[in-house]
Structure 1
Amino acid sequence: MAQLSLRGIKKRFRNTEVLHGIDLEIGDREFVVFVGPSGCGKSTLLRLIAGLDPISDGEFFLNGHRMNDVAPSRRGIAMVFQSYALYPHMDVYENMAFGARLMGLDKPEVERRIAEAAQMLRLEPLMARKPRELSGGQRQRVAIGRALVRKPDVFLLDEPLSNLDAALRADVRLEIARLHREIGGTMIYVTHDQVEAMTLADKIVVMNAGRIEQVGSPRDLYETPANTFVAAFIGSPRMALVTVTAKDGRLGIDNGGALDVGVLPGASSLRLGLRPDAVKLANGVGGEGFSGQVVYTEYLGDNAYVYVRLADGTLVAARTAPNDHFEPDAPVTVTVTPGAAHFFSADDGRRLVP
């Protein structure tokens, strides 16, 4: 069992505050992903949980026990680093055994745990190899195995896939998801890749500039983003945000047409959020909709994304059938699927409900 509670967590480096009062509850056996742009504080928060850096203000509780002054080795937490951090002079077996021996476990127990972790991660043929003789994905699995043999209450993973190529990244992502199902532990995973966050997490914590913007399931964040930051960060291609003016029940942009999207929020100036699935394109300009110009098309086999520049300069992506053809620089009319639009305040970016 591992329940974590972060209450008013702040972190300062000299006179610079990088975390500004983090409040977060993480339940037992949850897979929680911290996501956000580089420099937002997600790795710093992970290091505070691990005990590698001291907390400046606030309190951290693990299973109801205050952990602020508890040494990292006594927290029941294991961390997998971005750089693997394997001992180059040790083979795979010794790398996995090192931490378990420091815990004071006897030899039979160490061997049992290593055998169990090696089988789970399919490392048995590699036990006598040195790190330099392993691929990137194999090294990452060894780093995860080293954490596994400690049988921690909480696993922390700091951007573990960032050094891997695209194919390996997908493979190891599946390994991590399978591992969580099998061991049932609480996992906290840091990434700047929102695709990893959406595919792995039970709960996503979106961070920005040392603050939490929104906490929720992948579906919650995709379908009901709390503000324009979350709306633009979650989803690929990203949500387009168009500054529009509401008049007579229709939304318009300067010199770019207008459209009817149904019931509107009670604000005259707002931002319209459009996911690619919600955008419809028609060749030519005229009638209901925003006028735009095709920039380019991304063909992905089973579908395609057409990028269109609106009259106000906003770039909008539309998902189309792979056989639909839109010439670069061609004029098009942009409309929106009824009920699929998102609305945000043009002043502070918060979500508005019609």
Structure 2
Amino acid sequence: MAQLSLRGIKKRFRETEVLHGIDLEIGDREFVVFVGPSGCGKSTLLRLIAGLDPITDGEFVLNGRSMNDVAPSRRGIAMVFQSYALYPHMDVYENMAFGARLMGLDKAHVERRIAEAARMLRLEDLLKRRPRELSGGQRQRVAIGRALVRKPDVFLLDEPLSNLDAALRSEVRLEIARLHREIGGTMIYVTHDQVEAMTLADKIVVMNNGRIEQVGSPRDLYETPANTFVAAFIGSPRMTLIPVTSDGQRLAIADGGAVPLANLPEAGTLTLGLRSDAVRLQRGTGVDGFAAQVVYTEYLGDNAFVYARLANGTLLAARTTPNDLFVPDEAVTVTVEPGAAHLFSAEDGRRLAP
């Protein structure tokens, strides 16, 4: 069992504050992903949980006990680093055994744990190899196995797939998801890749500039982003954000057409958010919609994305079928699927109720 509570967590390096009062609850057996752009504070927060850096202000509570002054080795937490951090002179078995031996476990107990971890991670045939004899994916599995042997209450993973190529990232991501289902531990995973976050997480924590923008399930964040930052960060392709004016019944772009929308929250200047599957492209002009010009098409086999430039310069992504071909510079009209538009305040970017 592992329940974590972060209460008003702040972190300063000299005069620079990088975390500005983080409040977060993480439940037992949850798979939580911290996601955000580089420099947003997600890895710093992970290091505070691990005890590798001191907390400037606030309190970290694990299973009802304050961890602020508890040494990292006594927190019941294991961390998997981006750089693998394997001992090059030790073989896989010794790398996995090292931490367990420091815990004072007897040889038989260590061997049982290594055998169990090696089975889970399919490392049985690699136990006598040294790190230089392993692929990147195998090294990362060894790093995960070393953490697994310690049987911690909480697993921390700091961008564990960033050094792998695309095929290996997909493979190891599946391993991590399967491992979480099998062992049922609490996992906190840091990444800047929103695809990893969407495919792995029970709960996503979106961070920006040392603050939490939104916490929720992948579906919550995709379908009801709290603001324009979350809307643009979650989803691939990213949501198109368009400055528009509203008269209460239509949303218009200057010299670029308008779309009718029901139940608009207010008149005035707004930001319209459109996912790629929320829009349709019609050839030519003359219908209600935004005038646009095709820039290029991404053909992906089972579907395609067409990128078109609106009159105000915004580049919009639209999902189309592979057989629906559009050519560069072709004139098109963008229409919006009913109920698929997202509306945000033009002043502060917050989500507006429809």
The TM-score range, normalised by the shorter chain, is over 0.9
Once the two structures are TM-superposed, the CA of residue 261 in structure 1 deviates from its matched residue by 2.1
Aligned to 1:186: 186
Aligned to 1:34: 34
Aligned to 1:273: 273
Amino acid corresponding to residue 337 of structure 2 in structure 1: T
Alignment TM-score, normalising by the size of structure 1: 0.99
Equivalences for 1:272-351 in 2 at 5 Å? 272-351=272-351
Q: 1:248 to 1:70 in 2, by over 3 A?
A: closer
Amino acid corresponding to residue 46 of structure 2 in structure 1: L
Moved more, 179-188 or 244-253: 244-253
User: Does residue 1:78 correspond to 2:78, yes or no?
Assistant: yes
Per-residue displacement from partner, 1:303-350 (whole Å, max 9, x unpaired)? 000001000011110000000011101110000000000000000000
Once the two structures are TM-superposed, the CA of residue 263 in structure 1 deviates from its matched residue by 1.5
Equivalences for 1:20-99 in 2 at 5 Å? 20-99=20-99
SS at match of 1:352: coil
Amino acid corresponding to residue 82 of structure 1 in structure 2: Q
Contact 2:246 2:266 in 1 (8 A): no
Contact 2:248 2:265 in 1 (8 A): no
Q: Distance in 1 between matches of 2:51 and 2:224?
A: 34
Amino acid corresponding to residue 216 of structure 2 in structure 1: G
Amino acid corresponding to residue 79 of structure 2 in structure 1: M
Aligned to 1:163: 163
Once the two structures are TM-superposed, the CA of residue 205 in structure 1 deviates from its matched residue by 0.0
Give every structure 1 segment of 4 or more consecutive aligned residues whose post-TM-superposition deviation is greater than 4 Å: none
User: Does residue 1:251 correspond to 2:256, yes or no?
Assistant: no
Q: Distance in 1 between matches of 2:318 and 2:271?
A: 18
Alignment TM-score, normalising by the size of structure 2: 0.99
Amino acid corresponding to residue 45 of structure 2 in structure 1: L
State how many pairs are aligned: 354
Equivalences for 1:122-137 in 2 at 5 Å? 122-137=122-137
Once the two structures are TM-superposed, the CA of residue 248 in structure 1 deviates from its matched residue by 4.9
Q: Which blocks of at least 5 consecutive residues in structure 1 are unaligned?
A: none
Q: Distance in 2 between matches of 1:220 and 1:267?
A: 27
Amino acid corresponding to residue 240 of structure 2 in structure 1: A
Amino acid corresponding to residue 11 of structure 1 in structure 2: K
Once the two structures are TM-superposed, the CA of residue 89 in structure 1 deviates from its matched residue by 0.3
Contact 2:84 2:143 in 1 (8 A): yes
Equivalences for 1:106-125 in 2 at 5 Å? 106-125=106-125
RMSD, matched Cα: 0.5
Q: Distance in 1 between matches of 2:65 and 2:232?
A: 37
Q: Which blocks of at least 5 consecutive residues in structure 2 are unaligned?
A: none
Aligned to 1:228: 228
Aligned to 1:202: 202
Amino acid corresponding to residue 135 of structure 2 in structure 1: S
